[in-house]
Amino acid sequence: MKHTPWKTAVAAVAGTSLLLGLGACGRSEDKAAGASEGAVTSIDSEPATGDLTVWAMGNEGDLLGDFVEGFKEENPDVNITVTAIPWASAHDKIQTAIAAGTVPDVIQMGTTWMADFADAFAPVPENFDLSDFSAGPLEAGQVNGEQLGVPWYVDSHVLYYRTDIAEQAGWDHAPETLDELKQMAADVKQVDGVENGIYISPSGADSWQGTLWAFFSSGVSLMDDEGNWTLDTPQMHEATEYIDSFFKDGITGTNLDVTPGVSITQFVNGETPIMTGGPTTISQIADQGGDPDSYATAVIPKGESSTSFVGGADFVVMDEAANPDAGWKFIQWMTKPETQVEWYKTATVLPSSQSAWEDETFAGDDKLMVYGEQLKSTQAPPAVPTWAQVSAAGDRIMEQIYKGQLSVDEGLKNLQAEAESIGTGE
């Protein structure tokens, strides 16, 4: 998919339609997820057979139809049909299909949608080997502790910084801690031509999500184990004050242009030489003429930990799938390390398989390998249907804090109250 830097994992996957409740479009409330009589509890070793239908979204959907020829070669008795669906209409189309009982066997599911449709998914079979996936992507495919999705591709954010400008400011290495990151940003701000030390969106859609790396690295849990929102904790205060300090100390301006794509432009021209970004940021920098030798990537600097956001997409088998056996065998094939490497070459999305990262495609690329390291420590937003609403409240309240309209104490108290009012949709 082609996305703006933060939207890589969130916007195209989440969208405003996430605000819709599944409601009557799911199965009856007294029927647990994965309770269908046709649910597959174990996958055999025989080739897949029969008709198999797969829905995939956006650019992945456009590319998958040809890519699955490899699966057909290994499973000659399967007839697979891939339907490409635009992300903009995908949520409504899935919702309608569930209500009408016309679902495909397999669907590509954005990780932020897992909770929306959880009642309609079959659980992952007991003998599906999940050992090659790291904890963050696996957790993104769970709802209420049950594994419903298998990570297909992953997305996370790492630090990007202009090494040439950092050197002018006296830095010859990446910042290792959150405090060092702030100091580097303050130092590069003094270099001629630099307007903002670091690109942090003060406002706009997903602006709070764009800083979750600082919150997760500061030990923040957005919900507790009982499913209650925890947005007014000491850790939340610490992380909010940390991000707010970039604005209050004049390192980054609250009038920063948040137009999609501007962060890349300002990074390339040197106006804002530090930012965070997903894997497509590398190609976006190249598209704008950026010199690959002028910048480097690094894992998120450490607070209590170095923990970034994780998103991406899972594969799910629908509870009412006509051919769930072939569906799970297809997902097994798509998540094999060798298939994941070839899929990266086709779609340039990061593999969920940890073993795939050992391939020279990744091991030989210093900028990409940082993502492989970062994916060992990631965290996903809560898998609840109302996350988009709570996140939007966070965007608005954080902007009020950054612009001095609310104190951190007032803002987080308001955010906690709004989140409790919104609930979890469960």
Residue 31 CB contacts under 8 Å (≥ 6 apart), including other chains: 119
SS3 for 71?
helix
What number is the average pLDDT over the span 373-391? 93
Check: CB of residue 367 under 8 Å from CB of residue 296: yes
pLDDT in tens, 124-171: 999 999 999 999 999 999 998 999 999 999 999 999 999 999 999 999
Separation of alpha carbons 10 and 5, rounded Å:
10
Topology alike, domains 6-16+46-156+310-377 and 158-309+383-422: yes
C-alpha distance from residue 229 to each of 237, 293, 386, 413 (Å): 14, 43, 11, 12
> Nearest 5°: CA angle at 27, between 24 and 43?
150
**Residue 252 pLDDT greater than 90, yes or no:** yes
Q: Residue 391: which pLDDT band, with cuts at 50, 70 and 90?
A: very high
Name residue, tokens 């993104």: 140
Burial class (CB in 10 A: 0-12, 13-18, 19+), 404: exposed
Q: What's the rounded Cα separation, in Å, for the pair 245 and 247?
A: 5
| Model confidence pLDDT, tens digit, residues 172-227 | 999 999 999 999 999 999 999 999 999 999 999 999 999 999 999 999 999 999 99
For residue 255, CA distances in Å to 131, 196, 404 come to 46, 10, 13
User: Is residue 303 scored above 70 in pLDDT?
Assistant: yes
Mean pLDDT of the chain: 91
**E runs forming strands in 70-164:** 78-85, 106-110, 142-143, 146-147, 150-156, 158-162
User: CA-CA distances (angstroms) from residue 243 to 188, 229, 370?
Assistant: 17, 21, 23
Q: How far is CA 295 from CA 274, 307, 357, 369, in A?
A: 9, 22, 22, 15
Name the amino acid, one letter, at 281: T
DSSP, res 292: G
Grouping H, G, I as helix, E, B as strand and the rest as coil, residue 159 is strand
Joined tokens for residue 233: 């904790």
> Which pTM does this prediction carry?
0.84
For domain 6-16+46-156+310-377, which architecture applies? Answer: 3-Layer(aba) Sandwich (3.40)
Q: Which two tokens stand for residue 21?
A: 């409740």
For residue 61, the model assigns a pLDDT of: 96
What is the pLDDT, as a whole number, of residue 259? Answer: 95
Give residue 348's pLDDT.
Answer: 87
Whole-angstrom distance, CA of residue 295 vs CA of residue 367: 9
pLDDT digits (tens, 9 = 90+) for 112-121: 899 999 999 9
**Superfamily of structural domain 158-309+383-422:** Periplasmic binding protein-like II (3.40.190.10)
Does pLDDT of 19 surpass 80?
A: no
Beta strands across the sheet bearing 158-162: 274-277, 158-162, 295-298
Residue 426 to residues 25, 29, 228, 387, 422, Cα–Cα distance (Å): 15, 11, 11, 12, 11
H or E stretch at 358: none
Is pLDDT at 342 greater than 70 in this prediction?
yes
Among 404, 393, 397, 396, residue whose Cα is nearest residue 254: 404
Where do the structural domains in the chain lie, given as residue ranges? 6-16+46-156+310-377, 158-309+383-422
